[in-house]
Amino acid sequence: MKRTLSLISILFLAFIWPAYAYSVENSFPEAEKPSPLEASHSGPVAGMQESFREVFNLYKDSVVFISTEKEVEVRHPFQNDPFFKRFFDGSPAPGKQQQKGLGTGFVLSSDGYICTNHHVVANMDSVKVVLDGKEYDAKILGSDELTDIALLKIDGARGLKPVHLGDSDNVQVGDWAIAIGNPFGLDRTFTVGVISSVSRSEVDHLGNAHIQTDASINPGNSGGPLINLNGEVIGVNRMIYSQNGGNMGIGFAIPINTARAVLSQLKSKGKVEHGYLGVSIRPAAPTEKGPEYGVYVESLDPQGPGKKAGIQPGDWIVRLNGDPIKNFGDLLSRVAAAGPGETVELGLWRDGKTIQTKATLIQRPAPE
């Protein structure tokens, strides 16, 4: 009896299973052709998607991966403590270890000039560039801490694809913004957002203007390009605002017009010459009534050009070479752009009267 039931079961499965398997295989039919939304995406949406793809394909071989190494001294945390120091007397010398870093850069010329951030390569023992799967030793031709721009050169590479530099003065809030870089070491990562602000100077202690974007930028993106929908580089990604180290939709890029001027000097001179007036600025107190615009001088460098030109604490600088000075960023950028050795005409406001004076700028001292 049991054999009969088993035989019946086998015959049942033999005839029924193929039909069941066929029904399962066909329960998920192939995607419809065309897709349900394909027709509706034939206009501006499809065009925008194609533009994003074109930008990536244009720059996927122009954005480079930068890795750095620096030898650092490792000391025991208690080695300098007076109580514990005796336990370390006679012990081996402090150890050394390699500290590694990463960043992004982009190709400026077919023969190997590359732009990145100063802070990516500053004080590093070795800098290597990875491009299209090949690793090159990079030489730092020049690096400017004040603007956070560095110029690298790799040898042995030919036929590289340089980026197209745009005009950051034409950038407007609401424009599309694309970042390509190596966040957390994930090479050629492509993120998209918009321009949130075109001139953020309060994020830099020197008052340098920055482009703000919500395109996702994370550690490792530093030095990479910020690109518009026309495939033009409009900025050099520099930093983010974050409370936890990750992206919060607030990133900042150095305007490409600033970077271009700095890179030109780094290539020709190996350094950047920034003008220096030698004045310290602070916001005026409510009781310190001043002009409609200008910056309030708190103190002066005793050896600086401003002191020699007769500027006094309590003065307001309202004009430089005839142009209005509305904030510290205005003053800093125009003095820096003028360069050392250049004589500028200053309009001062003092005790309700306008005073004209001239100052010959000097080279800005290196940051302490």
Q: Are strands 134-144 and 126-131 parallel, antiparallel or unpaired?
A: antiparallel
- CB burial class (10 A; 0-12, 13-18, 19+) of residue 341? exposed
119 is catalytic: yes
Phi, psi of 37 (to 5 degrees): -105, 0
Spot the catalytic one: 41, 51, 111, 119. Answer: 119
Q: Could you tell me if 323 and 307 are in contact, meaning their C-beta atoms sit under 8 angstroms apart?
A: no
> Which residues face 320 on adjacent strands?
323, 346
For residue 214, give the nearest of 229, 192, 199, 245 by alpha carbon: 192
148, 204, 315, 330: the catalytic one is 148
φ, ψ (nearest 5 deg) of residue 247: -70, 135
Q: Would you call 118 a catalytic residue per the annotation?
A: no
Measured between alpha carbons, how far is 277 from 286 in angstroms, rounded to an integer?
26
Kindly name the residue from 222, 274, 315, 330 that is annotated as catalytic.
222
Q: Where are the alpha helices (DSSP H) in 72-121?
A: 85-88, 118-121
Other CB atoms within 10 A of residue 196 CB:
18
Give the CA distances from residue 333 to residues 152, 225, 284, 300, 329, in Å, rounded to whole numbers and listed in that order. 25, 22, 21, 18, 6
Active site residue 222: yes
Contact 17, 9 (CB under 8 A): no
**Residues assigned a catalytic role:** 119, 148, 222
